[in-house]
Structure 1
Amino acid sequence: MRRTIVLILTMMLSIIVSQPVAAQSDMVAAGLKWILGQQQADGSFAGFGPGDTADAIVALVAGGEQPPASALNYLAGQAASYGTSSAGATAKVILAVVAAGRDPLNFGGVNLARQLGTTYDPATGQYGADVYGHALALLAIKAMGVQPPAPAIERLIGLQLRDGGWSFDGAAATGSDTNTTSLAVMALSGYARAGDALTAARNYLRGQQNPDGGFPYSQTSAFGNASDANSTAAVIQAILALGEDPNANPWRQGEATPLKALIAFQNQSGAFRYQNAMPDDNALATYQAIPAVAGRTLPVRTVTIPAAQTLIASAINLPTTGGETVPILALVALTGMALLVVGLWLRREPVRQG
C-alpha cells in the first residue's frame, strides 16, 4: 500500500514538473519559428547589422534548431569586415560559428582566433576598448575550449565597480548595468579566483530586480526602470551561470520569478516585445530571450580547439600547464645561464689525446 502511495505521488509530481517544462518548450518552438521567418533574401536576419545575425544563429542553436546554411554563408561573407571591426564583433562571430559547428580558425577566409588575439593588450590584460567587448572575448575563448591569459581574467575582476556591477565602458561615472554585469558573470563563471567578484555581482543583480520578477537595464537609467525582455534574459543567463534556479529563491518575488517575467513578454506571434510599453515584435529581444527560456547560458556550445591557444594572445601571456605565466625573458636568461655553466665545465675538462 505504501509503495502504491509513493508511486502515485511520484507520478503527480512528475506531471506538475513536466507542465512548465513543456510550456517552455512550446514557447521556444514558437520563438524559433518567428526567428526563421525573419531571414532576409541575402541570408541575414532582421536587425541592425551582422551582429544580429550572429545572435540569431546562437538563439537557433540554443533552441535546438540547426541554423540555415545561407545564414552562415552570409556571416562568412562579413567575417573580413564586421568580424574584424572590434573585439566584441570578433567574439560574437566566434560564438555563432562554434555554436553552428563551423571552424573559427578558417571562417570566411579569416582566422577568428588570431584576429581576437590582435585585440588583446598585454599592458592592460584587456581585449578591445570596453568591458562588454572584453567579456564577450572571454566567452569566445571559452567556446573554443582554451584558457585565456591570466591577466585577462584579473582585468575583468579589476573593472568591477563598488556596487558589484560592471559598466559598459568600465567607468564608474557611467554606472553599472544589468546587461554588462550579466555578461561578466558568464565570462567569469568557472574561475575559482573570481569567487568574490561573482558573489558581489550576484548581490548587485538581486538589488536590480523589480517586483514583477524582471529586470531593467538599470534601476538608475535615465530611460526608466521598467523591466525589459533583453535585460531579464541576460540576468537569467547569469543566474544559470551561477548554478542557480531563476524560478527559485532568492530570485522569486512572491509568485513572480525572472523566468515568468520573461515569458510574459512573448507575443502571440512567438516573438518577444522589448517592454510592455513597446508591444511590437522585437527581433533583438527575441534573439536574446530564446536562449534564456531554453535554459542556456553563453557560450551555448563549447568545443576544444588546441590550436587556438597560441593565437588568442602572445605566447608571453598564456598560462602554462600549472596555470602561471612564464615571461619569455626569464626563459632566455635561464637558457643563457645553463650555456654558461656548460661552457665553464668544458674549459675545466682536460683534453684527451687520441
Structure 2
Amino acid sequence: MRRVLALFLTIILSAMIWQPVAAQSAVVAAALQWVAGQQQADGSFAGFGPGDTADAVVAFVAGGQQPPASAVNYLAGQAASYGTSSAGATAKLILAAVAAGRDPLNFGGVNLARQLGSTYSATTGQYGSDVYGHALALLAIKAMGAQPPAAAIDRLISLQLRDGGWSFDGAAATGSDTNTTALAVMALVGRARAADALNAARAYLRGQQNPDGGFPYSQTSAFGNASDANSTAAVAMAIIALGEDPSGAAWKQGDATPLSALAAFQNSSGAFRYQNAMPDNNALATYQAIPALAGRALPVVTTSIPAAQSLIAPATALPRTAGEAQPVAPLLALAGLLLIVVGKALQRRA
C-alpha cells in the first residue's frame, strides 16, 4: 500500500512540474515559429540592424533549434562594418558566431577576438565606451573560453552604483537600470571577488520587480515603470545565471513570477509585445524573451578557443599564468654591462 501511495504521489508531483515546463516549451516553440517568418531576403531578421539578427540567432540556439545558415552568413558579411563599430557590436557577433558553431577568429574574414581586444583600455580596464558594451565583451570572452584581464572584472565591479545596479554609461546621474544590471550580473557570475557586488545587484533587481511579477527598465524611468518583455527577460536570465529559479518563491509576487509575467506578453501570433500598452508584435522583445523562457543565460553556448586568449587584450594587460614576468629594461641593462666587462677582460688578456 505504501508503495502504491508513493507511486501515486510521484505521478502527481511529476505532473505538477511537467505542466508549466510543457507550457513554457510551447511558448518558446510558438515564438520561434513567428521569428522564422521574420527573416528577410538577405538573410537578416526584422529589427533595427545586424544586432537584432545576432539576437535572433542566439534565440534559435537557446530554443534548441539550428539557426538558418543564411542568417549566420548575413552576420559574417557584417563583420567588417557592424562588427568593428563598437565593443558591444563585436561582442554580439562573437556570441552569435559561437552559438552557431562558427569560428569568431575568422568570421567573415574578421578576427573578432582581435577586434574586441582593440577596444580594450589598459588604463581603465574597460572594453568600449559604455558599461553595457563592456559587460557584453566579458560575456563574449566567456563564450570563447578565455579569461579577461583582472582589471576588466575590477572595472565592472567599480562601476556599480550605490543602489546595487549599473547604469548604461556608468554615470550615477543616469541611474541604474535593470537591463544593464542584468547583463553585468551575467558577466560577473563565477568571479569570487564579485560576490558582494552580485549580492547587491540581486537586492537591486528584487526591488525593481512589479506586482505582476515582471520588471520595468527602471522604477524611476521618465517613461514609466510598467513591466516590459525585454526587461523581464533580461532579469530572468540574470536570475538563471545566479543559479536561482525565476519561478521560485524568492521571486514570486503573489502567484506571479518573472517567467509567468514574461509569458503573458505573448500575442496569439507567437510574437511578444513590448508592453501591454503597446500590443503590436515586437521583434526585439520576441528575440530576447526566448532564451529566458528556455531557461538560458548568456552566453547560451561556450567553447574553448585557446588562440583567443592572447587577442582579447594587450599582452601586458593579460593575467599572468606562468609566474611573474621580469622587467625587460633592467635585464637588457644587465646584459649590456656584462658584455662590457667581458670585453675589457678580453682586452687585458690580449
TM bracket (short chain) = over 0.9
Shift of 1:3: 1.8
TM value normalised by structure 1: 0.94
The aligned counterpart of 1:155 is: 155
The letter for the 1-side match of 2:66 is Q
1:280-299 equivalences in 2 (<5 Å)? 280-299=280-299
In the alignment, which residue of structure 1 is the partner of 2:101? 101
AA in 2 matched with 1:262: L
CA offsets, 1:55-99, max 9 Å, x none?
A: 100001100111111111111111100000000000000000000
Q: Aligned letter for 2:272?
A: F
- Distance in 2 separating the partners of 1:246 and 1:109: 40
SS in 2 for 1:105: helix
After superposition, the C-alpha distances for 1:175-209 in whole angstroms (9 at most, x for unaligned) are 00000000000000011010000000000000000
Name the aligned partner's letter for residue 115 of structure 1.
Answer: Q
- Aligned residue number for residue 145 of structure 1: 145
What SS does the corresponding residue of 1:250 show, helix, strand or coil?
Answer: helix
Q: Which residue of 1 aligns with 2:74?
A: 74
CA positional deviation for 1:172: 0.3
Q: Which residue of 2 aligns with 1:57?
A: 57
Q: Offset of 1:331 from its aligned partner?
A: 3.3
Deviation >6 Å, runs of 4+ = 340-347
Partner Cα separation in structure 2 for residue 30 and residue 335 of structure 1:
65
Matched, 1:183 2:183: yes
User: In the superposition, relative to structure 1, how do residues 338 and 25 fare at CA in structure 2: closer, same or farther (>3 Å)?
Assistant: farther
Corresponding residue SS for 1:113: helix
CA distance in 1, matches of 2:88, 2:206: 27
User: With structure 2 as the length reference, what TM-score do the two structures score?
Assistant: 0.95
Offset at 1:338?
Answer: 7.3
2-structure distance, mates of 1:311, 1:34: 38
Deviation, 1:5, is 1.1
1:203 aligned residue? 203
For 1:241, the aligned partner's letter is A
| TM-superposition CA deviations, 1:148-178 (whole Å, max 9, x none) | 0110000000000000000000000000000
The verdict on how the C-alpha distance between 1:341 and 1:38 changes in structure 2, with shifts beyond 3 A counting, is: same
User: Is 1:254 matched up with 2:231?
Assistant: no
Corresponding residue SS for 2:29: helix
Structure 1 unmatched ranges of 5 or more = none
Distance in 2, matches of 1:335 and 1:62, equals 52
User: 1-side partners of 2:158 and 2:334: how far apart?
Assistant: 38
Structure 1 residues 24-68: Cα deviation after superposition (integer angstroms, max 9, x where no partner): 111110011000100000100000001100010000110011111
Q: Which residue of 2 aligns with 1:226?
A: 226
Cα displacement (A) at 1:334: 6.5
Identity of aligned residues (%): 76
Cα distance between partner residues in 2 of 1:104 and 1:153:
22
Q: Which amino acid aligns with 2:300?
A: V
Write the distance in 2 (CA, Å) between the matches of 1:113 and 1:333: 30
Alpha-carbon separation, structure 2, partners of 1:342 and 1:196: 51
CA distance, structure 1, for counterparts of residue 341 and residue 264 of structure 2 = 79
- Confirm or deny that 1:307 pairs with 2:303: no
C-alpha displacement of 1:321: 2.3
Deviation at 1:339, TM superposition (A): 4.7
Give the letter for the 2:265 counterpart: F
Counterpart position of 1:245? 245
Aligned twin of 2:328? 332
In the alignment, structure 2 segments of 5+ residues that lack a partner are none
One-letter code of the match for 1:272? F
Kindly state the Cα deviation for residue 320 of structure 1 after the two structures are TM-superposed: 2.1
Counterparts of residues 2-151 of structure 1 (less than 5 Å): 2-151=2-151
Aligned equivalents of 1:345, 1:99: Cα separation in 2:
60
Q: Counterparts of 1:345 and 1:9 in 2: how far apart (Å)? A: 88
Paired letter, 1:62 = A
- Once residues 339 and 15 of structure 1 are traced to their aligned partners in structure 2, the CA distance between those partners, rounded to angstroms, is 76
Aligned residues: 347
Distance (Å, rounded) in 2 between the aligned partners of 1:334 and 1:246: 56
**1:343 Cα deviation (Å)?**
7.0
Counterpart-to-counterpart distance in 2, 1:243 and 1:174: 29
Deviation of residue 12 (structure 1)?
Answer: 1.2
Instruction: Read off the aligned partner of 1:88 and give its amino acid letter.
Output: G
CA distance in 1: counterparts of 2:117 and 2:321, whole angstroms? 20
In 2, Cα distance between equivalents of 1:202 and 1:111: 35
CA distance in 2, matches of 1:271, 1:153: 36
Partners of 2:341 and 2:302 lie apart in 1 by 52
Q: How far does residue 121 in structure 1 lie from its aligned partner after superposition?
A: 0.5
